[in-house]
A and B are shown apart, each in its own frame.
Chain A
Amino acid sequence: MASYTPTVSIDDPRTATGGNGVLPPGWGGDGDNFGLFDTRLRRARLGLVVGLTGIAMIFISFTSAYVIRQGLPTLDPRTNTLLHDWFPVPLPRLLLINTGVLLISSVTMELARRQAARKRALAQFVSVAGASVNAKEEISWLALTVVLGLSFLAGQWMAWRELAASGFYVASSPSSSFVYLLTGMHGVHLFGGVVALLTAGVTSLLRRSADSQLIAVDVTGWYWHFMAVLWVYILCLLEFVH
C-alpha cells in the first residue's frame, strides 16, 4: 500500500468526507468481530426484514384498495341512480378454526427454531469422534409445522368451497372479490413458507452443515410468524372494517 509523508504543513486539508487515514468507529459489515455463523445469520435476517417490507407493501396496497372500494357508489343502469353496492360477505366459521391451526403452527415453528439452535449447539460436540449426543430428538417440530401449514391451506381451500356453495364467487360482489384476493395472496405466501421449510428439511437430510439448516429454519421461522400476524390482520380487515 502506498504511504507518503507530507512535505508542507497543512492547516486545512481539503478532504471530502473526513477520513485522513483513520478507521471510523462503528460497524462496517465484514469488518466487525462477528464469527462466520453470526454474520450469515445476521445477513439472512436483515434480508428477511427487507423482503417482508416489500411483502407488506403488497398488502398495504390491497388494504387501501379495499377501504376505498367500500366507499365508492356504483351506477345502476336500470334506474340511472348511484347505489351503494358494498355488502360484506358472511365469512365461513371454518376460518376461525384455520386461524387456530395457523397460530398453533406458529408456536410449533418457534419450537422448531429453538430445536434447530439446540441441534447446532450440540453438533459441535457430535463432531468429536465417539461422542453421541442423544441423536434421537423428541418430536420433529419442523415436520409438525409443515403439516399444520398444509392443514391451514387445505382449510382455506375448504372455506373457499363453502363460500362458493353459498353463492359467493370471485366476481359475485366487490366484497367477495376481496375475500378471495386477500385469502389467496396470503395462501400463496404461506405456501412459500411451507416450501422453504421443506427445503430446510431436505437440507438436513442432505447432511448440509447444521449452520445452514439453522439459518434456513430461523429465517423461515420469522417469516412464518409474520404470515400468522398478517393472517390475523387480514381476518380483522375482512370482519371488522366496514
Chain B
Amino acid sequence: MAGSTGGGETIMATREIAAHEIHAHAAPQGFLRKWVFSLDHKVIGLQYYFLALTAVFVGMFLSLLMRIHLIWPNVSLPLVGEIKPETYLSLLTMHGTIMVFFVLTTAPQGGFGNYFLPIQIGAADMAFPVLNMLSFWVTFIGYIVMLSAFFVVGGAPLHGWTGYPPLSALPSAGPGEGPGADLWVISIALFCVGALMSALNFITTTLDMRARGMSMMRMPLTCWAWFITAILGLLAFGVLFSAGILLLLDRNAGTSFFVPLVVVNGQIAAHKGGSPLLWQHLFWFFGHPEVYIAILPAMGLCSQLVSVFSRKPIFGYKAMVYAMLSIGLLGFMVWGHHMFMSGMSPYSAFAFSIMTMAIGVPSAIKTFNWLGTLWGGRIRFYSPMLFAIGFVSLFVSGGISGPFLAQPTLDIPLHDTYFVTGHFHLIMGVASIFGIFAATYYWFPKMFGRMMSENLARWHFWFTFVGTYAIFMPMHYLGMAGHPRRYSQGTELAFLHPLLPLQKFITYVAFVTIGAQFIFLFNLFWSMKYGEKASDNPWEATTLEWTTATPPPHDNFGGHTPAVYNGPYEYSVPGAPRDYVMQTDPATVAAH
C-alpha cells in the first residue's frame, strides 16, 4: 500500500508541475492587468457579472418608464420627457434587447460560468485565457454601442428586440430607425462574436480540462448546464450573426435580402424581392435556443442548490443530464412556433406544435426530479434555496402556458396580447433572474470571502417572489381579455377601459418590486465590506469550489490539481462521519 501511495504522489507531483506550466500566465501585479485586462477567469467572470448588474438596472428603469406611461400617458418623465408612441417603442426595444442579451445571456453563463466552471471541474483556468478576455471586452463594447443608440439622431430603434424587417431594414421607416438601428445591429453582431468565442472556450474547457477522476458523469449539473448552453450558443449565435450581416447590408448597401417591394411614406423604397420571413426564420432559429441559453444555467444551478440544501443526492442525475440534452436538441426544432402569426403551411405549424409540446416531457422530468429531491429532505431554507425553490415555482407557472401557446389555434388569438408577455417574462425573464439571484447568494461567500446578510436576502426574496407573480400573472388575464401588447397606451381605447385598474395594479407592484431590488444591491455591496467572514465551505457542499481557499487563489487550487473520487451529490451517505462527502474525499466505503 505504502509503495503504491508513494507512486501516486510522484504522479501527482508531475501533474502539479504540468498543470502549473499549462497555466502559463503568472498572477499579474499591476491594476490594469489584474482587474481590467485580466486573463484570470475569475476576474473575467466578475466583469461579466457587473456588466450584467449595470445592464439589469438600465433595463428595469426602462420597464418602469413604460409601466408609468401605460397608466399615466400624459406625465412627462425624467430623462425622456414626454413619451410619444415611438418613444415607447424605443423603450420596449431597448428593454428587451438589454435584458435578453446583456443580462440573461451574460450573467448566468459569462458571469458564473466563467467563474465556477474551471473550479468545479478542477482546472486552473479556461482553456484559452486570452480569448476569454477578448470575449468579455467584445461583449462590453457591444453593450456600449447598444447604449449609444439612445444618444444618436432619432434615438433608439423601434423594431423590438426581434428586429423584424422591413421596419428594421429601412432607415426611413421611423425616427429610431436611422443610426440608432445601425448601432443596434452592430451591437448584436459584436455580442454574437463575443458569445461565439466564449462558447468555444466553455466547450474546450469542459471537454479537455477536467481534473483526474472528473468523468463527465461526475460533473456537477451546473457544469453540464454551462456546457450544453455553450453548445447551443455555438450553433445559434453564428446564425444570428449571419442574419445581422444581411440586415446591415440591406440597411447600408442597398441589397434586398429581407426587404420586399415596400412603400414608405408614399414612396416606393429602392428594394424589391426580399423576404421578411427569411429574417424571422434566421432570427428564431437563434431566438428559441436563446431562451434555453438563458434558462439552462439556472436549471443546472437549481438542481445543485436543491440537492445541497435538502441534504440529499439529486434525484435522477442521469435523467437530469439527458433532460437538459434533449431540451437543447428540441430547442433547435421549434423556432416556427414564434411564427404562427406570420403565416405558414398548416403542416409545418403542426410539426412545430408537436415538437414544442414534446419539450414539455424533459421539462416535466426536471420538475419531477427537483420535487423528488426535495421530498423527504432535511431542507435548509437559506436564501439560495429560497430562490431555487422560487425558480421551480416560476418555471412551472411560466411553463404551463407554453403548451397553450404551442398550439396555433390558441396562439393566433393570444400571440399579440399580454398573455405572451406574461408567459415569457415568468419563464425566461424572472425564472432566469431567480437563478442569477440564487447563484449570487450561494457563491458570494466564495467570491468575496464574506456572507451576505441573510435577513436582507429573505426580505428581498419575498418582495421579489410575490412581486413578480403579482406583476406577470395578471398579464395572462389582460391577454385573454384581448389587451394587445406593444401598445403605448390603452387609456384612449374604450374596450381597454375595464382593464385599466389591472394595469394600474401592475404598475404599483412594479414600483415596489423594483424598489426591493435596491435591498439586493445594498446587501451585495455592504456585505463585500462588512459581511460576516465566510469559511471555506459555509453551505457544507461537496463540489470542488468548496475545497479551495476563499476567495480562490490565482490558479484556483494553490499549486496542485485536485483528484476527484466521488460524484457531486454525496449527501447523507450512510456510514460517513458527516452528512456529506466531498468530491475529493477518497472514501473507504466499498462499492456494492
Cβ 8 A contact of B239, one of A7, A35, A57: A57
| Inter-chain contact A16/B575, CB cutoff 8 Å | no
The answer for the CA separation of A57 and B590 in the assembled complex, in Å, is 48
The answer for the CA separation of A31 and B163 in the assembled complex, in Å, is 47
B18 at the interface (CB under 8 A from A): yes
Which residues of B sit under 8 angstroms from A54, Cβ to Cβ?
196, 199-200, 234-235, 237-238
| Inter-chain contact B242/A20, CB cutoff 8 Å | no
The answer for the CA separation of A101 and B259 in the assembled complex, in Å, is 37
Q: How far is the CB of A64 from chain B (nearest CB, A)?
A: 8
| Interface of B, helix, strand, loop or mixed by DSSP | loop
Which residues of B sit under 8 angstroms from A58, Cβ to Cβ?
238-239, 241-242
A40 at the interface (CB under 8 A from B): yes
B135 at the interface (CB under 8 A from A): no
The answer for the CA separation of A28 and B211 in the assembled complex, in Å, is 6
| Inter-chain contact A29/B211, CB cutoff 8 Å | yes
- Given A170-B255, A177-B249, A28–B215 Cβ distance below 8 Å? yes
Which residues of B sit under 8 angstroms from A64, Cβ to Cβ?
281-282
Interface string of A62-96 (1 = CB under 8 A from B): 10110011001111010000000100000000000
Cβ 8 A contact of B208, one of A42, A59, A68: A42
Cβ 8 A contact of A23, one of B213, B255, B307: B213
A167 at the interface (CB under 8 A from B): no
B273 at the interface (CB under 8 A from A): yes
**Most A C-beta atoms less than 10 A away, residue of B260, B285, B575:** B575
The answer for the CA separation of A170 and B153 in the assembled complex, in Å, is 27
Which residues of B sit under 8 angstroms from A69, Cβ to Cβ?
257, 273-275, 278
Within 8 A of B (CB), among A13-59: 13-24, 26, 28-31, 35-36, 39-40, 42-43, 46-47, 50-51, 53-59
Which residues of B sit under 8 angstroms from A68, Cβ to Cβ?
275, 278, 281
Q: Write the chain A residue with the least CB distance to B219.
A: A17
The answer for the CA separation of A29 and B19 in the assembled complex, in Å, is 11
Cβ 8 A contact of B242, one of A22, A51, A65, A74: A65
Cβ 8 A contact of A29, one of B210, B238, B573: B210
Cβ 8 A contact of B253, one of A39, A56, A59, A170: A170
A181 at the interface (CB under 8 A from B): yes
Number of interface residues of A (CB under 8 A): 64
Which residues of B sit under 8 angstroms from A61, Cβ to Cβ?
238-239, 242-243, 282, 285
- Given A18-B217, A22-B591, A28-B211, A75–B574 Cβ distance below 8 Å? no
Q: How far is the CB of A63 from chain B (nearest CB, A)?
A: 10
| Inter-chain contact A29/B243, CB cutoff 8 Å | no
Which residues of A sit under 8 angstroms from B272, Cβ to Cβ?
74-75, 85
B27 at the interface (CB under 8 A from A): no
Which residues of B sit under 8 angstroms from A35, Cβ to Cβ?
18
- Given A43-B127, A47-B128, A75-B272, A15–B313 Cβ distance below 8 Å? yes
Which residues of B sit under 8 angstroms from A181, Cβ to Cβ?
245-246, 249, 255
A5 at the interface (CB under 8 A from B): yes
The answer for the CA separation of A36 and B17 in the assembled complex, in Å, is 10
Which residues of A sit under 8 angstroms from B19, Cβ to Cβ?
30
Interface string of B37-68 (1 = CB under 8 A from A): 00000000000000000000000000000000
Q: Write the chain B residue with the least CB distance to A5.
A: B588
Which residues of A sit under 8 angstroms from B494, Cβ to Cβ?
none
A241 at the interface (CB under 8 A from B): no
Which residues of B sit under 8 angstroms from A31, Cβ to Cβ?
15, 210-214, 563
Which residues of A sit under 8 angstroms from B207, Cβ to Cβ?
29, 46
A236 at the interface (CB under 8 A from B): no
B576 at the interface (CB under 8 A from A): yes
B577 at the interface (CB under 8 A from A): yes
A124 at the interface (CB under 8 A from B): no
B310 at the interface (CB under 8 A from A): no
The answer for the CA separation of A14 and B373 in the assembled complex, in Å, is 13
- Given A46-B207, A62-B242, A171-B255, A10–B592 Cβ distance below 8 Å? yes
Which residues of A sit under 8 angstroms from B253, Cβ to Cβ?
170-171
B554 at the interface (CB under 8 A from A): no
A195 at the interface (CB under 8 A from B): no
Cβ 8 A contact of A174, one of B18, B243, B256, B285: B256
| Inter-chain contact B238/A17, CB cutoff 8 Å | no
Q: How far is the CB of A59 from chain B (nearest CB, A)?
A: 8
Q: Write the chain B residue with the least CB distance to A52.
A: B200
A to B CB contacts below 8 Å, 14 in the list: A6-B588, A10-B592, A13-B592, A28-B211, A31-B210, A36-B22, A40-B22, A43-B204, A46-B127, A46-B207, A58-B241, A73-B273, A75-B260, A174-B256
Which 7 A-B pairs rank lowest in CB-CB distance, beginning with the nearest?
A31-B212, A57-B238, A17-B567, A74-B273, A171-B254, A6-B575, A16-B313
Given contacts A19-B583, A23-B212, A24-B218, 8 further A-B pairs with CB under 8 A are: A20-B587, A28-B214, A28-B564, A30-B123, A31-B213, A46-B207, A54-B237, A69-B273
Taking Cβ atoms with an 8 Å cutoff, the residues of A that contact B are 1-8, 10-24, 26, 28-31, 35-36, 39-40, 42-43, 46-47, 50-51, 53-62, 64-65, 68-69, 72-75, 77, 85, 170-171, 174, 177, 181, 185
